[in-house]
Amino acid sequence: MAANRSKSRSAAKKAKPAAAKPGPAAAKKSAPAKKARPAPGRAAKAATDSKAKAGASKKKADVSKAKPGTSKAKPGDSKAKAGTSKAGASKRGAATKAKAGRAADVLDFGGFPAGSVTRHEVTLCLACIFKLFTNQLGLAPRTAYNEIRRYTPTVEELTSRAPARPFFKPSSEKDARCPYCEAPKRWHASLPVYRIEGGKAADAARRTLLKKLPVGEGEFQLQEEKRTARQVFFEWLERLGQTLDFEEDAAWMPEAARAFLERREPKTDWAAAFEGARQVRRSHRLDAGCEREGARLFLAPALYNEVLLVQYLVSRSHRHGGRTFEGRLTLPDLVGRLRHGGHLAAHGITERDRFDVLEQLVEHLTGGDAPARLYFIIDRRQLLERARNAYERQTT
Ligand SMILES: [Zn+2]
């Protein structure tokens, strides 16, 4: 399987420039192309260019393969791209369709520690891409279809807060149209991205899951990226912030606390601990963990203090000062409370300047510059299926 992966990785690299190069920027250009088709010469040149670039990038891929350790790629660069494999396997189309029904359950994250997996989804407009490949680059429909099957968008493109053509935010509307070309729903393919944080328990669960995933037709694309522990934490916090309604303190505060605690101590059943709890408090009787007393949930001081810090961090950009279980806190308030509660001393934080203190607190909370890894699984099943349908519509 490892051999398969690395084979398909180079295939993906090779295919990428042709497919991804004309991505969002070029796609914008293709809008006027509806009226005025680009001159054949220009289209041909574009195709040649992209071919030339594909060649160049293949060399690059070979070099980086030869010296895996020396690659200086930034975290954003998708180094470990895999999954998209040889196209032209469409004769197995019928088999895939049958498989798709069963494959719906294949992506099961039940074995992962709580908080280690987050899901993001974006919609891809196949009409936009088809038009780009056929009108702008002058590809035949069949070739365009093959390029789309090999299309390996980057995690950045897929998880961007402001998706660019041909991507757009998923809509729950029944008659949703592509915001760029107005294509109806049958042209839209959903591309879910699962972000998995590295870690002992998550790594084992990930390996088990990957063994089960079909890779033959590029149903799943895998990417791996390097980060620091601090980056991973703040990305997680930002995603959490996006899901919270900061107008409802009684709802978001326990929600944020629970999400953080699940991530911090995945072995505790925090769902049960929070079930029906109306108050969350600090308990000096506890050295670790939590305790329920009626509708009150008591947390050990270290946990409680970290919860305050997380609530402060996640809400400070939404409110003046952060909002916490202890009310609205400015940075001096927060630092004062943590100092008074012995939290600073417990972490050996002796700085007086409150910004230095916050930096130290964040260092302890997040793990700072410790190396961390993120793994992404891109579910391309609907993309493959919708692309096939779109091709059939075009040719019949
Ligand atoms: Zn479109």
Tell me the CA–centroid distance for residue 149 and ligand 1, in Å: 17
What average pLDDT score do residues 274-301 get? 90
Residues 170, 229 within the same domain: no
Residues 191, 238 within the same domain: no
| Residue 312 reports pLDDT greater than 90 | yes
Tell me the CA–centroid distance for residue 126 and ligand 1, in Å: 7
| Any domain includes 213 | yes
Residues 318, 210 within the same domain: no
| Any domain includes 388 | yes
Query: What is the token pair recorded at 168?
Result: 């757009």
Q: Do 137 and 293 form a contact (C-beta atoms < 8 A)?
A: no
Residues 387, 370 within the same domain: no
List helix spans (H) across the chain: 2-20, 24-29, 40-66, 93-103, 126-131, 141-150, 155-159, 200-212, 229-243, 249-264, 270-274, 301-315, 331-340, 343-346, 354-366, 381-395
| Residue 175 reports pLDDT greater than 60 | yes
- Identify the bridge partners of residue 194 per DSSP, sorted by sequence position: 119, 377
What average pLDDT score do residues 317-339 get? 85
Tell me the CA–centroid distance for residue 293 and ligand 1, in Å: 55
| Residue 209 reports pLDDT greater than 80 | yes
- Identify the bridge partners of residue 189 per DSSP, sorted by sequence position: 124
- The secondary element (H helix, E strand) that includes residue 297 is strand 296-299
Dump pLDDT digits (tens) for 210-222. Answer: 988 887 888 999 9
Computed over every residue of the chain, the mean pLDDT equals 76
| 134-138, 257-261, 319-323: the lowest-pLDDT one | 319-323
Residues 205, 231 within the same domain: no
At 286, the amino acid letter reads L
User: What is the DSSP track for 336-370?
Assistant: HHHHHTTHHHHTT----SHHHHHHHHHHHHH-TT-
| Any domain includes 117 | yes
What is the pLDDT confidence band of residue 320, given thresholds at 50, 70 and 90? low
Residues 208, 230 within the same domain: no
Residues 142, 163 within the same domain: yes
Residues 239, 215 within the same domain: no
Tell me the CA–centroid distance for residue 33 and ligand 1, in Å: 13
Tell me the CA–centroid distance for residue 24 and ligand 1, in Å: 11
Query: What is the token pair recorded at 30?
Result: 């293709």
Tell me the CA–centroid distance for residue 191 and ligand 1, in Å: 15
Residues 206, 240 within the same domain: no
Tell me the CA–centroid distance for residue 130 and ligand 1, in Å: 9
Tell me the CA–centroid distance for residue 30 and ligand 1, in Å: 11
Tell me the CA–centroid distance for residue 239 and ligand 1, in Å: 27
The DSSP call for residue 82 is: B
| Any domain includes 14 | no
Residues 353, 385 within the same domain: no
| Any domain includes 143 | yes
The DSSP call for residue 39 is: P
What average pLDDT score do residues 189-204 get? 90
| Any domain includes 194 | yes
Look at the chain and report how many structural domains it folds into: 2
Dump pLDDT digits (tens) for 119-153. Answer: 889 999 999 998 888 888 888 888 988 888 888 88
Residues 192, 253 within the same domain: no
Residues 199, 300 within the same domain: no
| Any domain includes 37 | no
Q: Do 226 and 78 form a contact (C-beta atoms < 8 A)?
A: no
| Whole-number percent of the chain with pLDDT over 90 | 31
| Any domain includes 334 | yes
Tell me the CA–centroid distance for residue 18 and ligand 1, in Å: 19
Distance CA 124, CA 205 (A): 29
Q: Which domain holds residue 153?
A: 110-219+380-396
Tell me the CA–centroid distance for residue 166 and ligand 1, in Å: 6
Tell me the CA–centroid distance for residue 366 and ligand 1, in Å: 40
Tell me the CA–centroid distance for residue 302 and ligand 1, in Å: 51
Tell me the CA–centroid distance for residue 209 and ligand 1, in Å: 33
